[in-house]
Amino acid sequence: MRVLSGIQPTGRPHWGNYFGAIRQYIQLQNEDQAFYFVANLHALTTIRDRNLMTEYTLNAAIDLLALGLDPNRAVLFVQSDVPEVSELCWILLAGTSMGLLERCVSFKEKKDRGLSPVAGLFTYPVLQAADILAYDSDVVPVGQDQTQHIEVCRDIAQAFNHQYGEVFVLPKAKVLSDSAKVPGTDGEKMSKSYGNTIEIFESPKEARKKCMRIATDSRPMEAPKEPDNDHLYQLYSLFVDEKNRAAMASLYRAGGFGYGDVKKAIADAAEAFFAPARERRAELENNPDEVREILAAGAQRARAKASEVLGRAQEACGIKF
């Protein structure tokens, strides 16, 4: 079973990124053959600054390695280091219907948020399909709100296979079990778009400040509170074991505490939880050549597979003979 996923280099990862996706990626590398890439070609639709793109791409790789991605278990590479994917994208574009792309909600959502409606955003699903199909991916881990991307990929692959024969493996979505909402500082889903994130690798002092600013309701200290519907309790639960979760739940139901106490507990738990990753990240940051070597080795392995798949597609449609 081959698993594939890409992460856009659009800034530093936050708690929502980790618990919503990255943690599951790390777990999957122990079960299946995993390909993970830094999606810098996709990021070109929003990042138009050369220095930022270079910085974000390297940082994204460092972050993944620091959080536990093992290059001996998973293939880690940069998307643009596999040019076969771009050629495969064009082959797929040549047969993809406009109607299919017009139905994609991601383009509509991004345009509604004020992003320039460039062709790259409109054709984004085709490049994404090429990313998936280039490695004969069986499974693509996604959040519940991203399953349409895999459906579109399957539609594109099925159309090609119908025209030219069984060239592409049809992937399946693996909906991440922990992709439920991770609350941000305002209680809404943690997202860069909402400006409510707490970053994994920002200083513990700054993370603590953000924790103390998390929005709460106005219930008095003495009032008992149901923990399951409280976003502070939800955040605390991410970082601790069952024993500590149960103790905090009892405190909620008994009442007589302030939300400030819970916020401090969240900050303490998060700092301890991410401490090993911060230490590992500092080591990698001081050895960027090591990271580049890992990415180069990953790209070599990725290109070997992508070349095989591209060759099948080229032969099938008659442009290689």
The tokens describing 35, both together, are: 């390909």
pLDDT of residue 176: 81
pLDDT tops 60 at residue 72 = yes
State the pTM of this model: 0.92
Contact 266, 232 (CB under 8 A): yes
> What integer is the mean pLDDT of 177-183?
71
The tokens describing 162, both together, are: 């119908």
Give the sign of the dihedral formed by CA 126, CA 70, CA 202, CA 269. positive
The verdict on whether 110 is a catalytic residue reads yes
For 192-281, give the CATH class.
mainly alpha
> What integer is the mean pLDDT of 55-70?
97
pLDDT tops 70 at residue 109 = yes
Residue with tokens 């519940």: 144
Tell me if the domain spanning 2-181+287-317 has CATH number 3.40.50.1820. no
Active-site residue (options: 111, 189, 210, 264): 189
The verdict on whether 172 is a catalytic residue reads no
**C-alpha to C-alpha distances, 219 to 40, 160, 214, 222, 252, nearest whole angstrom:** 46, 59, 15, 8, 12
Chain-wide mean pLDDT for the chain? 93
Three-state DSSP class for 230? Answer: coil
Residue with tokens 């860069």: 192
Residue with tokens 């979505």: 173
Higher pLDDT, 105 or 173: 173
Query: What b/e sequence results for 107-123 when a residue is b if at least 16 CB atoms lie within 10 Å of its CB, and e otherwise?
Result: beebeeeeeeeeeebbb
The H or E element spanning position 141 is: strand 139-142
Active-site residue (options: 111, 192, 210, 264): 192
pLDDT of residue 103: 86
Of the listed ranges 10-14, 85-89, 154-158, the one predicted with least confidence: 10-14
pLDDT tops 60 at residue 318 = yes
The verdict on whether 181 is a catalytic residue reads no
Of the listed ranges 26-40, 60-74, 149-163, 307-321, the one predicted with least confidence: 26-40
pLDDT of residue 49: 96
Active-site residue (options: 110, 174, 225, 263): 110
pLDDT tops 90 at residue 146 = no
pLDDT tops 90 at residue 8 = yes
pLDDT tops 90 at residue 89 = yes
The tokens describing 289, both together, are: 């050549």
> What integer is the mean pLDDT of 125-150?
92
Predicted confidence band of residue 321 (pLDDT cuts 50, 70, 90): confident
> What integer is the mean pLDDT of 223-251?
94
pLDDT tops 70 at residue 256 = yes
Count of C-beta atoms within a 10 Å radius of residue 185: 19
Predicted confidence band of residue 178 (pLDDT cuts 50, 70, 90): low
Predicted confidence band of residue 199 (pLDDT cuts 50, 70, 90): very high
Q: Give the rounded percent of residues in the chain with a pLDDT score beyond 90.
A: 77
pLDDT tops 70 at residue 263 = yes
> What integer is the mean pLDDT of 146-169?
95
Predicted confidence band of residue 180 (pLDDT cuts 50, 70, 90): low
pLDDT tops 90 at residue 181 = no
Predicted confidence band of residue 80 (pLDDT cuts 50, 70, 90): very high
Higher pLDDT, 263 or 179: 263
Domain boundaries, the chain: 2-181+287-317, 192-281
Q: Strand pairing of 172-175 and 74-78?
A: unpaired
Residues in the chain: 321
